[in-house]
């Protein structure tokens, strides 16, 4: 299965390089054809370097990886539909290269999700995704504001790439190899492993690196935001899964990473309380969910099925959120706030609310069951499970505190969130505190 998939990617890359001279040069997006194809070609050839361990372990996850690939294909197709819908809504012609770029981004995500133990292959595919994402940000709707956004994305992604290359060099100097199972369990390998993880954290926006993504998201249209918020994050989640599944880290390093992720969950949740811009809320919500999946990956035993289930719940909520925001928004999205949603279509507002409740893990939404499954695994396979469970529950409660303002404002005639009655604020805080104790007790005794 994996070899045939590589051959398909190789064929697509070769075909792209062949037709490039016949494509008009009047659009900057055409540059991505050669760049992405060359990176993909190099990555495929690197993948064939000592692939025995890689293919042997992937064979045991044949069914799971097939489901993951189907899910990512669906996300890519739906993202193209969202781009087309928003292009028609704002009466702009979307360049045909944009759909090709989303296809490339989908293929790169599938390649990482299918699994790799070659660090250079991992680096090249992440670079492939980063370059494609940058050109998507800069060229999707041809707006001047997105040029600065693309520059911010380039700087943050380049920083992650430099750190990843340094970590790969450290592994090679220590072990003489770049395959994950052969990494020596020494001090320099732990430092290199930590740098490798930090590089991926930067690329996908785990706290505190999500602050850059808040500025990036606030400048994008919702269809572009949907692409950047789904496919690269899927690649990052499964990239982290394959790294943790092939390596055994020390208890000290595992504890450091665990408290790092717990701090990120709590810090981001508190920071999201005062947010009004919907796009910044999406960035904070993504950082919280990435922190939660990181706490699960630090368990002594992890399963690709739970990672896939959590990813599906996250992606479904994001897709529902994106389509409701695309249809609710107008041409000027820079001033798009919670009040704009409430004053719009009531059914679309309901879709928005359902997706948000799923993202923060409120029952009976899909996100609740995904987080509940992770909490059960954390209690069984983690040492500091009580702190982790408290952080996950607290993040949901803090999210509920903010989003409980939406029904309050929705039910009142005055839809300005800044003028909510103090008594209603007191009721929200009281409900939040009670829900914290009830939820914590429910999780501990379930």
Going by the DSSP 8-state scheme, the letter that residue 186 receives in this structure is S
pLDDT tens by residue, 248-304: 777 888 888 888 899 888 888 888 877 777 788 888 888 888 999 999 998 888 888
Per-residue pLDDT reduced to its tens digit, 314-355: 888 888 888 777 777 665 555 455 555 555 556 666 777 777
* Residue 334 buriedness (CB in 10 A; 0-12 / 13-18 / 19+): exposed
pLDDT score of 20: 54
Same domain for 190 and 301, yes or no, is no
Q: Return the top range by mean pLDDT from 28-42, 123-137, 177-191, 400-414.
A: 123-137
Same domain membership, residue 307 and residue 225: no
Strands (E) in 114-193, as ranges, are: none
- The confidence score (pLDDT) of residue 210 equals 83
Residue 345's alpha-carbon distances to 110, 277, 326, 328, 350, in angstroms, are 36, 18, 12, 7, 9
| Tens-digit pLDDT profile for residues 426-440 | 554 554 455 455 444
Alpha-carbon torsion angle 401, 403, 409, 415, nearest 10: 120
Q: Look at 205-214, 363-372, 409-418 and tell me which has the smallest mean pLDDT.
A: 409-418
Domain boundary among 249, 266, 284: 249
Residue where a domain terminates, one of 249, 270, 287: 249
| Same structural domain, 275 and 382 | yes
Res. 94: pLDDT tops 60: yes
Instruction: Based on the fold, state whether residues 141 and 220 are members of the same structural domain.
Output: yes
Q: How many CA atoms lie within 13 A of 100 on its CB side?
A: 18
Q: Which residue has the tokens 């940058």?
A: 134
Rounded CA-CA distance 282/226 in Å is: 10
Predicted pLDDT of residue 30: 52
The DSSP code sequence of 334-381 is TT-BHHHHHTS-HHHHHHHHHHHHHHHT-TTSHHHHHHHHHHHHHHHH
| Phi, then psi, of 219 in degrees rounded to 5 | -100, -5
Judgement on whether residues 270 and 209 belong to the same structural domain of the protein: no
Q: Is the pLDDT of residue 57 over 60?
A: no
Band (60; pLDDT cuts 50, 70, 90): very low
Q: How far apart are CA 315 and CA 224, in angstroms?
A: 15
* Same-domain check for residues 126 and 3: yes
Confidence (pTM): 0.78
Q: What is the DSSP string of 227-278?
A: HHHHHHHHHHHHHHHHHHHH----HHHHHHHHHHHHHHHHHHHHHHTT--BH
Q: What is the pLDDT of residue 193?
A: 85
Residue 329: C-alpha distances to residues 164, 291, 341, 353, 435 (Å): 38, 29, 8, 15, 33
Q: What is the pLDDT of residues 357-403, one digit of tens each?
A: 787 777 777 788 888 889 888 888 888 888 888 888 888 888 777 66
Instruction: For the beta carbon of residue 248, count every other beta carbon within 10 angstroms.
Output: 10
Q: Which of 221, 28, 215 lies closest to 141 in space, CA to CA?
A: 221
Cβ atoms 128, 104 nearer than 8 A = yes
Whether residues 212 and 163 share a domain: the answer is yes
Q: What's the pLDDT score for residue 37?
A: 54
299 and 226 inside one domain: no
Rounded to an integer, what distance in angstroms lies between the CA atom of residue 324 and that of residue 312? 18
Residue 2 predicted with pLDDT over 60 = no
Q: What is the pLDDT of residue 422?
A: 45
Examine the domain organization and report whether 270 and 339 are in the same domain: yes
Residue 122 scores a pLDDT above 60: yes
Together in a domain, 170 and 216: yes
Does one domain contain both 105 and 209? yes
Q: Which of 249, 279, 308 is the last residue of a domain?
A: 249
Check pLDDT > 80 for residue 8: no
Q: Is there a contact between 190 and 249 (Cβ–Cβ < 8 Å)? A: yes
How many domains does the chain contain in total?
2
In this prediction, residue 144 has a pLDDT band, given cuts at 50, 70 and 90, of low
Task: Give the residue numbers spanning the domain of 292.
Answer: 250-446
Asked if residue 218 has pLDDT above 70, the reply is yes
Q: Specify the higher pLDDT residue, 37 or 111.
A: 111
* Residues 214 and 344 grouped into a single domain: no
Q: What are the Cα distances from residue 360, in Å, to 207, 251, 263, 269, 408?
A: 16, 30, 17, 10, 18
Paired residues of 179 in beta bridges:
118
Q: What does the pLDDT average to over 193-206? A: 89
């Amino acid at each position: 299965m994996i070899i045939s998939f590589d051959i398909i990617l190789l064929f697509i890359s070769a075909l792209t390089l062949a037709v490039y001279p016949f494509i008009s040069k009047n659009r900057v997006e055409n540059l991505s054809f050669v760049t992405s194809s060359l990176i993909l070609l190099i990555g495929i050839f690197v993948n064939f370097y000592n692939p025995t361990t890689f293919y042997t372990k992937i064979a045991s996850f044949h069914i799971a990886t097939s489901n993951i690939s189907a899910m990512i294909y669906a996300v890519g197709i739906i993202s193209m539909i969202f781009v087309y819908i928003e292009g028609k809504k704002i009466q702009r012609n979307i360049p045909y290269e944009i759909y090709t770029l989303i296809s490339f981004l989908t293929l790169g995500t599938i390649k990482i999700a299918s699994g790799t133990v070659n660090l250079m292959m991992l680096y090249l595919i992440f670079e492939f995704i980063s370059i494609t994402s940058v050109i998507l940000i800069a060229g999707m709707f041809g707006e001047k504001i997105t040029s600065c956004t693309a520059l911010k994305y380039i700087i943050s992604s380049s920083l992650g790439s430099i750190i990843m290359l340094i970590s790969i060099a450290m592994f090679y100097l220590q072990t003489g190899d770049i395959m994950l199972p052969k990494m020596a369990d020494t001090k320099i390998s732990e430092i290199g492993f930590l740098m490798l993880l930090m590089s991926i954290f930067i690329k996908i926006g785990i706290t505190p690196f999500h602050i850059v993504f808040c500025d990036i998201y606030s400048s994008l249209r919702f269809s572009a935001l949907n692409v950047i918020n789904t496919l690269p994050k899927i690649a990052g989640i499964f990239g982290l899964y394959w790294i943790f599944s092939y390596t055994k880290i020390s208890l000290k390093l595992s504890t450091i990473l665990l408290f790092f992720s717990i701090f990120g969950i709590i810090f981001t949740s508190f920071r999201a309380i005062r947010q009004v811009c919907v796009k910044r809320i999406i960035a904070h919500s993504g950082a919280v969910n990435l922190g939660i999946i990181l706490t699960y990956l630090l368990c002594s035993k992890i399963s690709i099925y739970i990672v896939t289930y959590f990813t599906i719940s996250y992606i479904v909520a994001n897709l529902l959120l994106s389509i409701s925001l695309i249809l609710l928004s107008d041409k000027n999205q820079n001033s798009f706030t919670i009040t704009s949603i409430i004053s719009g279509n009531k059914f679309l507002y309901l879709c928005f609310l359902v997706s948000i409740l799923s993202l923060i893990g409120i029952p009976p939404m899909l996100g609740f069951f995904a987080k509940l499954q992770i909490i059960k695994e954390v209690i069984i396979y983690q040492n500091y499970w009580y702190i982790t469970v408290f952080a996950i529950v607290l993040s949901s409660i803090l999210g509920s505190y903010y989003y409980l303002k939406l029904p309050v404002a929705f039910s009142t005639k005055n839809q300005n969130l800044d003028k909510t009655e103090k008594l209603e604020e007191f009721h929200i805080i009281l409900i939040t505190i009670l829900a914290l104790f009830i939820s914590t007790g429910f999780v501990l005794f379930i």
